[in-house]
Structure 1
Amino acid sequence: MPPTTPQPPVAPPPVPSLPDLAITRAADMAMSPHPDRGAKLRQCIDRLPQAEASTALTLVERRIEEAICRLGLEDVLAFDVGGLEDGLKLVHVLEQGSGGEWRATGRFIRLAAIYRLTPNGSLPLRLSADALPSPTAFHQLPLIMALYKIIGHSLAHQGTSLALQQANNDGAYRIGDQSFRVVPLSELPANHPYRSGYQRTDPVIRHEDLLFPSFWSFLVRLLVGMGNRYRLIRRINHDDPRYRRLLTETITKQQGGIAVDYRRDFGDLNHANPDDDRRLVIVSGFRPNERVAAHLEVWGRIDLLTTEASAGGRSQPLTVRFPTSLPLWRAVLSHFHLGHRVINRFRLIL
């Protein structure tokens, strides 16, 4: 057996500078649910000489820009920082969680813009600290719901605001005319498939007779239900192993899509019929600079949906009519050996 080559020691993480540590502590105070901490911070800010306050604001603005770049949000969000306290609040909010929650929010915002749910269908969304929920509300909500609350008031569908609102005192919420509630981990049966991956920052959601493993998946399902221009339908046997793989196997962004799972359980958490499992595979619209939103719906049949305007008449082949969407659909389907069967045998609904 050849000798093992010694590996160099892993470099320790960089030590934050004193100004960075001071900003972190002040940001925590700015968004603290304890009012006395926020009051003490404001007293400190009020006592700062103008030159020092200006220098501190510059450092805070730089910290916000660094966070936005690190999270890949440059194309979707822009913040009007305002004063020093507002900037510190934004620092705190941008640095919460693992980063995955903000990246998921960014993907949702890109899709929302294509669906014309943002003002004039444009990006970036420009927000100020006034858009932030109160510190108490921010920390009471699961993190990804708190992040959606920041942007939701900027979104609308057919004139209806998509702000996150409390629906009643029983823990129900509403977005537009759709009500839902958070399902706590304690309610899920021991063998429930959504139990092992439960995340308190992005929890299981109940919406009518549908159950979603996360708030993110509920948001995406809500979004795509707001309309696509074209739908291609292909019925397929539930028992086809290729269909089962498309429905259940991991799909990565490197394979061309994002899988969004949910199930119709008729309100019964013990319902376990695999035929009621459903999946969306988002293949376009979540990356920067994409202008078409396209996805697959897998629910006992496979539907292909897109916002892409047809580039040809009904007699034209799909390669001509949907030059952007077709290769993306095909890439995912071909991975499961379904490309020819689905795409070449379809019924088109305008």
Structure 2
Amino acid sequence: MSDSAPDEVWRRRILPSLLVHELVCVRATCRAKSALVTAGVLVERIDASLARLILTGLIDIDRTAPLSLTYVLRVAYVLEQGSSQEWRRVGVVFIRLAAIYRMTPATGLPLVLSAQWLMANLPNKTAFHQLPLAMAIYRLFGHMLTSQGQSLALQQAGNGAYRIGNVSFGVVQLSDLPHGNDYATGYQTTDPVIRQGNCLYPSSSSFLLDTLLVSWCQEEGVGERLVLQAPINHNDPRYRRLLTEAITEQQGVAVDSRDDDAGNLNHANPDDHRFVIVSGFQPNETVAAYLQVTAGDANDITLWTTERSVGDRPQSFDVRFPTSMPCWRAVLRNFSLENDVINRGTVVG
């Protein structure tokens, strides 16, 4: 359609169909229609993206100050990058858990993408694409998170390394993975394999979620507890399935890692580990709960939750943890492990 089309057609049909960089071109080159590309139009676009990505209430623009066109253009652009998969794990799941673990600002959610930070750190779209997409998404809000008073901003160190707080890590390129390595299958440049010490992660989003559950979950008042521990024979096929098979969104979020003996990518028998987050990532959930599945010297399944017990030990788990228990049971039942873990495991908390 040409610029001779009525303004209303442009507003309702043409502008919504264009990508953000195309809107910039319209404003720069189409004198007749440039005035239609306003901050208000872009705010509508931002709100639509937030809703589509299920980020409404988790991330937002600063609506308390006058909105400059440059600012809302940047926000609209970054929200339209990549697929919903990266935004779900790094945006939706991570931010919701970060709020439960009290890593977010005292003002709570949403995390506001300030104009000042965006202008200083994303002067152009090239700056955003200097990182793999999942890491670039985290960088948008990581500086607003803290763990025990320490900023969790993503920082780039020397020699291609990165650091968040006191955790250093690096990106593993596909070409560095040996032929046949499990993590080479399905490798995504937008969410790449990560090396952190002895641990290898299949994606940067897995690294972030794993580190949250292991290292960044110690804030005062969270009250996370280990509830139950159940040793499992590592040759048990049910255990191996829980450790390696895909987990559906209805069941939870799988977070995998691998200890490969001080970074030996050719290790014949690395130890795989998995968290299965079963609560804390859906809207209105206020309890974080997960299963931890470990391999190596100690093969076991442990159940963790931030839910406060509503009864004493003699009472059943279903009574004591009414929110977490159905979620744990659903995953374990799917792998025929419900009885072995819940009825035969050792009560810890």
TM-score by length of 2: 0.85
Q: 1:186 maps to which residue?
A: 175
Contact 1:247 1:279 in 2 (8 A): yes
Q: Deviations along 1:213-251, whole A, 9 cap, x unmatched?
A: 000000110011124621121111111111111111121
Instruction: Give the superposition deviation at 1:122.
Output: 2.7
Matches within 5 A, 1:110-121: 110-120=96-106
1:57 to 39, 44, 54: 39
Instruction: Give the superposition deviation at 1:115.
Output: 0.7
Structure 2: which amino acid aligns with 1:189?
A: P
User: Superposition RMSD on alpha carbons, in Å?
Assistant: 2.5
Q: 1:324 maps to which residue?
A: 323
Instruction: Give the superposition deviation at 1:54.
Output: 8.3
Instruction: Give the superposition deviation at 1:25.
Output: 2.4
Instruction: Give the superposition deviation at 1:346.
Output: 2.7
Q: Distance in 1 between matches of 2:322 and 2:344?
A: 18
| Unmatched 5+ stretches in structure 1 | 1-15, 30-40
Bigger drift between 101-110 and 323-332 goes to 101-110
Q: Distance in 2 between matches of 1:182 and 1:25?
A: 29
Instruction: Give the superposition deviation at 1:154.
Output: 0.8
Q: Distance in 1 between matches of 2:345 and 2:268?
A: 30
TM-score by length of 1: 0.84
Q: 1:100 maps to which residue?
A: 85
Q: Distance in 2 between matches of 1:76 and 1:263?
A: 30
Instruction: Give the superposition deviation at 1:22.
Output: 6.2
Q: Secondary structure at the match of 2:129?
A: helix
Q: Distance in 2 between matches of 1:53 and 1:129?
A: 22
Q: 1:269 maps to which residue?
A: 265
Q: 1:258 maps to which residue?
A: 253
Q: Distance in 2 between matches of 1:148 and 1:92?
A: 15
Q: Distance in 2 between matches of 1:21 and 1:319?
A: 50
Indicate yes or no: 2:117 matched with 1:131: yes
Q: Deviations along 1:195-218, whole A, 9 cap, x unmatched?
A: 121100000000100000000000
Contact 2:155 2:163 in 1 (8 A): yes
Aligned length: 318
Q: 1:199 to 1:27 in 2, by over 3 A?
A: farther
Identity of aligned residues (%): 52
Contact 2:53 2:87 in 1 (8 A): yes
Indicate yes or no: 2:189 matched with 1:200: yes
Q: Distance in 2 between matches of 1:301 and 1:348?
A: 13
Indicate yes or no: 2:202 matched with 1:213: yes
